[in-house]
Amino acid sequence: MANGTSVEKQLDLAEKNLDRLLEWVTRFDSKTSVVLGLDTGMLGAIGALAPAARFWDSLMLVFAILTMFFLSMGLLFVFLGNYPRLKSPNDSLFYFGSACRKDLNQYKQEFCKRVPEEHLQDLLEQCHRNSEILDHKFSYLSWAYVVLFASVIPWAVTIILFRSVSSV
């Protein structure tokens, strides 16, 4: 290699980088489960405490709609962040979507005839693609946090308004 680093060392670094990127997917999943749980719980509380429609007034309706809008947007962002992105930039032997389209013998043959430079290029392309996917995932997660935070005050007001009807 031109920079003096052996292909084997570059392969090792690329594999470690791909492992690190895949670890971030796990971190994303654990963070979205918090947002999903809070959004779902807050929607459940609204549903459980909602009085009969005949008791609703315009203030209650405004706050309930605002709360449901923010919480629904949070669920949408969680969904968009978790939605599988299945496009591969190449015919990768690492990506399950392209590997499974080969029969086993074809896969083994292609894998075994690879030279280290081809292996490195595939790894680097997968690192780049996974970075793109993670960028989208965490962008959606950021928005999910924003709308969750924005929902707290309207949600609390809605709960108070609902409880005021229940205690009458």
Averages of pLDDT over runs of 10 residues in the chain (168 residues) are: 78 93 93 96 96 94 97 97 84 86 92 92 92 95 98 98 79
Which residues span the domain enclosing 43?
A: 7-89+116-166
**Inside any domain, residue 108:** no
**Inside any domain, residue 141:** yes
pLDDT attached to residue 86: 83
**Inside any domain, residue 152:** yes
**Inside any domain, residue 69:** yes
pLDDT attached to residue 33: 95
Distance of CA 10 to the CA centre of its chain: 29
pLDDT attached to residue 91: 85
pTM: 0.85
- Domains contained in the chain, number: 1
pLDDT attached to residue 49: 94
**Inside any domain, residue 30:** yes
pLDDT attached to residue 155: 98
**Inside any domain, residue 33:** yes
